[in-house]
């Protein structure tokens, strides 16, 4: 796996709705820009060899990095794959929609729920929103949020951006009733 660069972004929200957020709401994103193992090869029927070669290594690289960047236990998490224009969305999906990738994050965050995801294809600098949900209960509304990410020079046409996001809490100033209030 050729990693061209790793980008880390930490967002700290100190005020929301005109009121202080205390402690500040923190979200971290760590993304690796990698060569697309399938780009330039035409239609590849069997993606399994590439998944086997790359997915687990990406999860092992990114999971500890995003939790370290967050600097606190994660309560919400998500993942992303942004494929350059010479690839297919399926190439990104192949790398992130496997337990070989996601279980690294689940174990590191003591999580049990599925990781919400975004996959898309785009040019360098494309904006993508990583959806986040609670790490153990996807019905906890306060943790349904997203974080916007962008890497100015990635993905190149033959690259994929693979990212993980973690939040130390739910949305700042959340006040929606629990889902059980509607059942």
| Number of domains present in the structure of the chain | 1
**Region 148-168 average pLDDT:** 98
The dihedral formed by the CA atoms of 41, 129, 2 and 51, expressed in degrees to the nearest 10? -60
**Region 146-171 average pLDDT:** 97
Three-class SS state of 65? helix
**Region 137-164 average pLDDT:** 96
**Region 64-84 average pLDDT:** 98
Q: Which two tokens stand for residue 164?
A: 């993980």
Q: How far is CA 125 from the centre of its chain?
A: 16
Range of the domain at 59: 3-182
**pTM score, two decimals?**
0.94
CATH of the domain at 37: 3.30.1330.110
The DSSP code for 116 is P
Residue 109 pLDDT greater than 90, yes or no:
yes
Smallest CA-to-CA distance from 179 within 146, 144, 141 is with 141
Residue 131 pLDDT greater than 80, yes or no:
yes
The answer for residues whose C-beta is within 8 angstroms of residue 51's C-beta and 6 or more apart is: 94, 95, 98, 100
72/31 Cα distance (integer angstroms) = 19
The answer for residues whose C-beta is within 8 angstroms of residue 117's C-beta and 6 or more apart is: 78, 79, 80, 81, 96, 97, 131
Residue 177 pLDDT greater than 80, yes or no:
no
The crossing angle, in degrees rounded to 10, of helices 99-108 and 89-96 is 50
49/1 Cα distance (integer angstroms) = 13
Q: What is the mean pLDDT of the chain?
A: 95
pLDDT of the residue at 175: 82
pLDDT of the residue at 181: 63
**pLDDT confidence band for 23 (50 / 70 / 90):** very high
Q: Which two tokens stand for residue 105?
A: 């994050």
pLDDT of the residue at 67: 98
Residue 180 pLDDT greater than 70, yes or no:
no
Residue 160 pLDDT greater than 90, yes or no:
yes
- DSSP-assigned beta bridge partners for residue 9: 29
86/80 Cα distance (integer angstroms) = 18
**pLDDT confidence band for 182 (50 / 70 / 90):** low
Residue 4 pLDDT greater than 70, yes or no:
yes
- DSSP-assigned beta bridge partners for residue 10: 28
**Region 46-55 average pLDDT:** 97
Residue 111 pLDDT greater than 90, yes or no:
yes
Distances (CA, A) of 165 to 20, 26, 80, 111, 145: 23, 11, 8, 13, 11
């Amino acid at each position: 796996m050729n990693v061209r660069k790793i980008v880390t972004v930490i967002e700290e929200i100190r005020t929301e709705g005109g009121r202080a957020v205390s402690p500040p709401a923190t979200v971290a994103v760590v993304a690796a820009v990698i060569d697309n193992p399938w780009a330039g090869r035409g239609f590849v029927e069997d993606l399994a060899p590439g998944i086997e070669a790359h997915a687990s290594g990406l999860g092992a690289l990114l999971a500890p990095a995003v939790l370290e960047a967050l600097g606190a236990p994660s309560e919400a998490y998500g993942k992303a794959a942004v494929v350059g224009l010479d690839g297919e969305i399926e190439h990104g999906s192949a790398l992130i929609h496997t337990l070989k990738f996601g279980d690294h994050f689940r174990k590191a965050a003591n999580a049990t729920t599925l990781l919400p995801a975004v996959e898309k294809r785009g040019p360098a600098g494309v904006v993508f929103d990583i959806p986040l949900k609670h790490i153990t209960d996807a019905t906890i509304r306060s943790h349904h949020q997203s974080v916007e990410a962008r890497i100015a020079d990635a993905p190149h046409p033959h690259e994929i951006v693979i990212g993980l996001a973690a939040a130390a809490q739910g949305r700042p100033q959340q006040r929606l009733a629990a889902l059980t209030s509607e059942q």
